[in-house]
Amino acid sequence: MTTAAPSLPTQQKAWAQAIAQPAQEFPLTPLTVISGAIPADLRGSLYRNGPGRLERQGQRVSHWFDGDGAVLAVHFADGQAQGIYRYVRSAGFTEEEQAEQFLYSGYGSLAPGPIWQRWKAQLKNAGNTSVLALPDKLLALWEGGWPHQLDLHTLETKGVHPLGQLTDNEPYSAHPKRHPQTGHIFNFGIVAGANATLNLYRSDAQGHIEKKESVPLNGIPLIHDFVLADRYLVFCVPPVRLNPLPAVLGFQSFSDALMWQPKHGTQLVVVDAETLEVVSSEAVDPWYQWHFGKGFVNKDGDIVLEVVRYPDFATNQQLKEIAAGQIKTKADGEFWRICVEPQTARVRSQTCLIANHCEFPHIAEDQPTVTAPTYLSMQPSEPDTEGELFRAIARFDPDTEKLTIAEAGSDRYPSEPIYVPKAGNDTPSGWVLSVVYDGGAHQSELWIYDIDRLTDAPVCRLLLPQVVPHSFHGTWRPA
Ligand SMILES: [Fe+2]
């Protein structure tokens, strides 16, 4: 049962309705088909994570990244789909539920109360950024802390999990990468402090950390994602540095204490995936990125990586404004391919592949990385994109450099597209799944596209029982 849309101030766009009220959980529910039919051979589970609650007792968080994590699961079997949506019951969330008010600071929000109490306030692990599906558990990820363990079917939260080796101050970031050949899972975490380090983790396929290394950092940068390219990990450390004192003393949130310092350039750091030791490092002209697409080593032995680049850190301000329901700051990401010489970390070449504002690159992992298409969220080239969220998804084919854009329509906001391979096909084939918020109807739907007919209508549209606010990242777990 969907609820009535809240009335919006006239300057707000339709997307703001989806986050105007805290999201409502729903139990495991058979999903109604709005159009088309669920493909009979679509078997497995889609998981998505994002900030579900941005408000308590009329107080709103100050940054979109600080909403309490809520996970959507849609389980597909035998041509049927069941959906469930539950908050990540972190210790902080549970405490704030009982207190009926915010108690903790976050990435961009300060705990209520006088400053002299804030300095010792812990950050709340919002568990809101992404998910990692392991054989026996789902991890809800947040880059400043340990992952939360959830039941794969019911999404019941079972506490934080150290993955065998994390110590108290070692976070596990929200963008782990699975090696397509070995099954190893790579990830990192920034350990802040006077001698900040970039911690590197390699886990087995069950998620158990087998190897850890620490790389010293220059100041405390913001690193959100990295690239796995065959036998290398590549970090592009952007010139964003934390001004630590105001953040530690509680005068400023971490987000507000992050400074754009282009003089540092963007530092490329190439790491050996076997030893987790740094191979090379080099500063290049500054850019900022949240996310990478694919990475691979080409026939010349060079690393090729895809990245959504921003000219500066204004994107952080834009993401802050989303929490307030109105975007005033323009910050467009472009999709680039960069070729890096591994032994020196020098850039051999760089090309802008997509100049349209885009984000959330997602790779077809069942195909050779070199030729696999990349799927993205995209802002179509049209007037009146100001203040809007993404209203299209797209497929980029590297061989032909063809860009196929599927527009969702007016006031419809598709989430990061997730590719799902069709099992048993000789030629790559499959679907793309995206949760779409329809601002006109104030409802959320799950759209299933055929990857070869992306500009056609989705092969199926499913109605979700409640509005699911815009989410960050998701994954597909085959049955
Ligand atoms: Fe992310």
Residue 81 in domain: yes
Nearest to 73 by CA among 160, 132, 156, 153: 153
Distance from residue 172's CA to the centre of ligand 1 (Å)? 13
Distance from residue 289's CA to the centre of ligand 1 (Å)? 10
Distance from residue 273's CA to the centre of ligand 1 (Å)? 21
Q: Is 473 annotated as a binding residue?
A: yes
Residue 97 in domain: yes
CATH number for the domain harbouring residue 142: 2.130.10.10
Q: Which residue has the higher pLDDT, 119 or 165?
A: 165
Tally of CB atoms within 10 A around 184: 17
The token pair at 140 is 């809800």
First to last CA, the chain: 28
Distance from residue 224's CA to the centre of ligand 1 (Å)? 6
pTM score of the predicted model:
0.96
Distance from residue 472's CA to the centre of ligand 1 (Å)? 6
Residue 449 in domain: yes
Residue 8 in domain: no
pLDDT digits (tens, 9 = 90+) for 266-277: 999 999 999 999
In which residue are the tokens 């069942």 written? 366
The token pair at 334 is 């472009």
Residue 46 has pLDDT above 50, yes or no: yes
% residues pLDDT > 90 (the chain):
88
Q: Is 75 annotated as a binding residue?
A: no
Residue 199 in domain: yes
DSSP class of 112: S
Residue 1 in domain: no
Distance from residue 315's CA to the centre of ligand 1 (Å)? 13
Residue 365 in domain: yes
Mean pLDDT of 387-404: 96
Distance from residue 130's CA to the centre of ligand 1 (Å)? 7
Dist. CA 123–CA 117, nearest whole Å: 13
Residue 165 has pLDDT above 60, yes or no: yes
Mean pLDDT of 177-196: 94
pLDDT digits (tens, 9 = 90+) for 105-132: 999 999 887 776 665 567 899 999 999 9
pLDDT digits (tens, 9 = 90+) for 210-238: 999 999 998 999 999 999 999 999 999 99
Distance from residue 4's CA to the centre of ligand 1 (Å)? 30
Query: 5 pLDDT band (50/70/90 cuts)?
Result: low
> By residue range, what is the domain housing residue 237?
14-478
Distance from residue 35's CA to the centre of ligand 1 (Å)? 31
Distance from residue 300's CA to the centre of ligand 1 (Å)? 30
Q: Is 148 annotated as a binding residue?
A: no
Residue 61 has pLDDT above 50, yes or no: yes
Residue 301 in domain: yes
Classify residue 103 by burial, with Cβ atoms within 10 Å: 0-12, 13-18, 19+.
middle
- The tally of domains found in the chain comes to 1
In which residue are the tokens 């919006």 written? 8
Distance from residue 274's CA to the centre of ligand 1 (Å)? 25
Range with lowest mean pLDDT among 108-112, 315-319, 390-394: 108-112
Mean pLDDT of 56-78: 97
Dist. CA 259–CA 60, nearest whole Å: 24
pLDDT for res 250: 83
Mean pLDDT of 429-438: 96
Distance from residue 301's CA to the centre of ligand 1 (Å)? 28
Distance from residue 360's CA to the centre of ligand 1 (Å)? 7
Residue 419 has pLDDT above 50, yes or no: yes
Distance from residue 142's CA to the centre of ligand 1 (Å)? 9
pLDDT for res 119: 57
CB-based burial, 424-459: b 16+ in 10 Å, e otherwise: eeeebebbbbbbbbbbeebbbbbbbbbbeebeeebb
Residue 1 has pLDDT above 70, yes or no: no
